[in-house]
Amino acid sequence: MAAPNCVFCKIVAGKIPCLRVYEDPSVLAFLDIGPLAEGHLLVIPKDHAERLEDMPTDILAHLVRQLPPLARAVLKVTATDSYNLLQNNGKTSGQEVPHVHFHIIPRKAADGLGYRWLASSYPAGRGEEIRRQLVAALA
């Protein structure tokens, strides 16, 4: 199902052009038009879903099975050996188009890309408390 005014739904429908790399009945992969690096790919479900948690899990599993061959193709074409797989959910995460998309971003040394790795640590007991809350939330 397409959502009105969704850019990616319009790309799926062919109403907005894209550089298509792979397509099957439920998944589309195309070049990001504002790439972080040459070969930066977007992989999306054809049916509209805003976030990872909104996707039917069968479609999600099928989409993810396409990622390894797509990543291998990106590595080959860009002559790189590394990439980030990134998928943002929610405005605060940096998600700009509210239609699930996986980024495959090939990486080269000193390219200035990557995640801002501001690591911290848990005060004594806090990690265990968070763990307990997470287990309870999953129950």
Other Cβ atoms less than 10 A from the Cβ of 32: the count is: 17
Q: Do the beta carbons of residue 104 and residue 112 sit within 8 Å?
A: no
CB of 20 to its own copies, least distance (A): 7
- Verify binding: residue 21, its own copies, rule CB under 8 A: yes
- Verify binding: residue 3, its own copies, rule CB under 8 A: no
* Closer by beta carbon to its own copies, 12 or else 70: 70
The number of residues that bind its own copies (CB under 8 A) is 71
CB of 10 to its own copies, least distance (A): 18
| Residue 42 dihedral angles phi and psi, to the nearest 5° | -115, 135
* Closer by beta carbon to its own copies, 39 or else 44: 39
Q: Which two tokens stand for residue 96?
A: 């700009």
Q: Do the beta carbons of residue 52 and residue 90 sit within 8 Å?
A: no
CB of 12 to its own copies, least distance (A): 17
Helix (H, G, I), strand (E, B) or coil at 92: helix
Is residue 103 part of the annotated active site? The answer reads no
Footprint of its own copies on 80-139 (CB under 8 A):
80-95, 107-109, 112-122, 126-128, 130-131, 133-135, 137-138
Residue in the structure block whose two tokens are 């790309």: 11
Please give the Cα distance from 106 to 83 (Å, whole number).
Answer: 4
List residues with catalytic annotation. Answer: 101
